[in-house]
């Protein structure tokens, strides 16, 4: 018997590259935006608003970049690493 919500979300393997890019973009963009917003503005009343605006802009730039860079990086690593 499946536990939780994750087993119900099984996607076809052909979407694994896209899903990987989305998950990595969310994780990296959130971390970087939180860090840079904290450094640049500190903990102000507008922190959350600035964080969300920065995150949305960062995500809009980072996701297409990830979709291009991840396959290129994978090919480069495969050429560098021996089997």
Q: Split the chain (83 residues) into runs of 10 and give each run's mean pLDDT.
A: 65 86 93 95 93 95 93 93 84
- Which residues lie below 8 Å from residue 63, measured CB to CB, with a gap of 6+? 21, 22, 25
The answer to whether residue 62 sits within a structural domain is yes
pTM metric for this prediction: 0.75
What is the number of domains present in the chain?
1
Closest to 53 measured CA to CA, from 67, 65, 70, 41: 41
Residue 10 forms part of a structural domain: no
Tell whether 49 is covered by a domain.
Answer: yes
Residue 46 lies in a domain: yes
Domain span including residue 55: 16-80
């Amino acid at each position: 018997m499946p536990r939780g919500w994750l087993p119900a979300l099984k996607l076809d393997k052909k979407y694994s590259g896209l899903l990987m890019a989305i998950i990595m973009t969310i994780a990296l963009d959130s971390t970087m935006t939180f860090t840079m917003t904290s450094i640049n503005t500190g903990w102000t009343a507008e922190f959350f608003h600035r964080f969300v605006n920065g995150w949305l802009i960062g995500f809009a730039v980072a996701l297409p970049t990830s979709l291009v860079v991840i396959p290129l990086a994978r090919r480069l690593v495969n050429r560098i690493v021996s089997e």
